[in-house]
């Protein structure tokens, strides 16, 4: 019984030590980042901006991808049965990019195929522009963040050499330590830039896949209307 109590006490001490070490490590990381200087403020803002845009666009695009599942088959069956009003109602209730495209086409059934194709194409361009909203900002962040980090490092180096000039001599410890601190800005800027760059291309690939899917469905819809007896 005494042995078990001692083991429990030892485990408790170990857990507390691990929690303390984790807390100290987190504090050390935050303190190290703060040593990067004033340039860390805009770099942090760029990181926050990139994360907000990425997750907002990611959720929006995923939702647009899932919402039109099975839509074309329902529209096709209603069109083939001559129930255009039902097909329009399905597209309206679906409330997806593809649904709005098909709704524009259905509203022009009876007109020449070229008119229907033009309506669907224009609707598709509008939907794509909505999906791509703010994605380009990630590309801007990917280009600006590393440059800001480099600017912070340059200002830090200028400050170090100014201090050396005022001191009238070179202290290797001071110079190397100062450079170590100022390189934090460059590392942070590069990290934010890389994350924004990855996010930018991930979102673009998702949009391109969705565009290909929409174009395929639109062609199938036009072929359906162009069939004899449609």
- pLDDT tens string, the chain, 230 residues long: the values are 443 444 444 345 345 444 434 444 444 656 665 665 677 888 889 999 999 999 999 988 888 777 666 777 777 777 777 777 887 787 777 777 777 888 888 877 777 778 878 888 888 888 888 888 889 999 999 999 998 888 887 877 777 777 666 666 666 655 666 666 677 888 888 999 999 999 999 999 988 888 888 888 888 878 777 664 45
Long-range contact pairs involving 18-26 (C-beta distance under 8 Å, separation at least 24)? none
Helix ranges (DSSP H) in the chain: 2-34, 40-67, 71-80, 84-94, 97-106, 113-131, 135-167, 172-226
Q: What is the C-alpha separation between 69 and 66, in angstroms, rounded?
A: 6
Element holding 230 (H helix, E strand) = none
Strand blocks (E) in 47-188: none
Contacts of 131 (CB under 8 A, 6+ apart): 57, 60, 61, 64, 97, 207, 210
Residue 64 pLDDT: 78
Residue 5 pLDDT: 44
Strand blocks (E) in 74-145: none
Q: What is the C-alpha separation between 107 and 221, in angstroms, rounded?
A: 13
Q: What is the C-alpha separation between 75 and 224, in angstroms, rounded?
A: 10
Contact yes or no for 83/196 (Cβ under 8 A): no
Q: Which sequence spans correspond to the domains of the chain? A: 29-226
């Amino acid at each position: 019984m005494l042995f078990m109590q001692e083991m429990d006490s030892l485990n408790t001490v170990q857990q507390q030590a691990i929690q303390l070490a984790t807390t100290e490590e987190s504090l050390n990381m935050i303190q190290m980042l703060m040593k990067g200087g004033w340039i860390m403020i805009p770099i942090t803002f760029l990181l926050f901006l990139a994360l907000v845009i990425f997750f907002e666009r990611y959720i929006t695009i995923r939702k647009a991808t899932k919402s039109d599942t099975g839509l074309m088959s329902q529209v096709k069956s209603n069109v083939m049965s001559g129930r255009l009003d039902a097909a329009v109602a399905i597209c309206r209730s679906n409330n997806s990019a593809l649904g709005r495209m098909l709704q524009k086409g259905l509203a022009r059934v009876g007109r020449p195929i070229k008119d229907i194709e033009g309506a669907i194409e224009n609707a598709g361009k509008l939907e794509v522009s909505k999906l791509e909203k703010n994605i380009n900002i990630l590309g801007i962040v990917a280009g600006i963040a590393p440059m800001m980090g480099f600017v912070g490092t340059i200002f830090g180096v200028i400050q170090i050499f100014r201090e050396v000039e005022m001191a009238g001599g070179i202290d290797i410890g001071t110079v190397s330590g100062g450079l170590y601190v100022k390189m934090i800005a460059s590392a942070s800027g590069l990290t934010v830039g890389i994350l924004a760059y990855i996010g930018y291309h991930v979102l673009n690939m998702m949009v391109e896949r969705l565009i290909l899917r929409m174009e395929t469905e639109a062609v199938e819809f036009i072929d359906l209307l162009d069939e004899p007896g449609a």
